[in-house]
Chains A and B, each alone.
Chain A
């Protein structure tokens, strides 16, 4: 059986949320912090949250945003798991590729993301907002079984669509609603990777 692994990016694969890193660049720490909290706890839908953050951040040039996200620290155990089998792994994120490209290159596996039209230096408009379930369904073309790993309310569709779902609380407590659709919950990166290795 061929198993694919779909990893949420912010707070699952990275040891910090990306948005606050970008916000620091833009001097909007407090505002974006509020937005992040409301999104993680599910008060604000992912779609609304994404629209807001896009509106705020689209004035920043890609180079500046990429410089910020490139600094994100990766969970070393999870990154090593992916590095050992990049063909079986995908990052599934609501971010647009132009904001996170160097970080994704560093992880070294495929990407499912939202999409935006862009000029050479700036994003213009969101052309496709990701539904994470679509990413899982697309992975079915290559894999017999798909395992999803995440922590936020926007991972619920991905967990619903996956064969096995793992809520990971290594960085912060997984969204309460995510527990309803999780098969496993882990809080420690080695425990997570032990489980992933068993499933790979």
Chain B
């Protein structure tokens, strides 16, 4: 909801490089036919903005967003789907090449779950601990490590189930799960936002 950002707009509409962050995400998904966006806070405004960016998005309305977790939104987004799908938060900036590499790796083994991890850097870090075969064996909020959960995952149908917990807690029930590092920046706090903007400038310079 962007409340900790103190900007009064949904986080997915906060601008980076002159465009809402969701516009950058939709760029990453240009080759994906079926894109769904779960909307809750300020839904009418979010829908209006996103449909002008990409008209064939399917919006999934979550009226109880104030009382539910992101896991609930993930489950809603994947409802009635009998195929694997890519799930992600909408307040993240992905480095384009690493996102494309993640998609390619997921597509190569579509029946297997693939969980994105990124270099630990956010204030609200959920650390992902990996074994020697690059599999996540444990999530932890307390015990630090080089990687954090990147809030991006390729998941087979039925793996996510409704329960009042966070997405990573649900994933923890299925460990070990294959991990794939990506370069990404999430924003929960103004400090995260500063990091993200600096990273965007770097991506733009690379391009």
Residues of A within 8 A of B (CB): 169, 176, 179-180, 182-188, 190-191, 194-195, 198-199
Given A185-B47, A198-B81, A199-B80, does the pair A179, B61 have CB atoms closer than 8 Å? Answer: yes
Q: Which of these binds chain A: B50-58, B91-99, B195-203?
A: B50-58
Distance A185 CA – B62 CA, assembled complex (angstroms): 11
Distance A8 CA – B102 CA, assembled complex (angstroms): 41
Closest residue of chain A to B57, judged by CB?
A: A191
- B26 interfacial by beta-carbon distance below 8 Å: no
A184 B44 Cβ-Cβ under 8 A? no
Residues of B within 8 A of A (CB): 33-34, 39, 43-44, 47, 51, 55-61, 63, 80-81
- Contacts A176-B44, A191-B34 known; 19 new A-B pairs at CB < 8 A: A169-B51, A179-B43, A179-B47, A179-B61, A180-B63, A183-B60, A184-B61, A185-B39, A185-B59, A186-B57, A187-B56, A188-B55, A188-B56, A191-B56, A191-B57, A191-B58, A194-B33, A194-B34, A199-B80
Q: How far is the CB of A113 from chain B (nearest CB, A)?
A: 28
Given A176-B44, A198-B81, does the pair A183, B56 have CB atoms closer than 8 Å? Answer: no
Given A179-B44, A180-B63, does the pair A186, B58 have CB atoms closer than 8 Å? Answer: yes
Partner of B51, one of A179, A182, A187: A187
Distance A191 CA – B36 CA, assembled complex (angstroms): 10
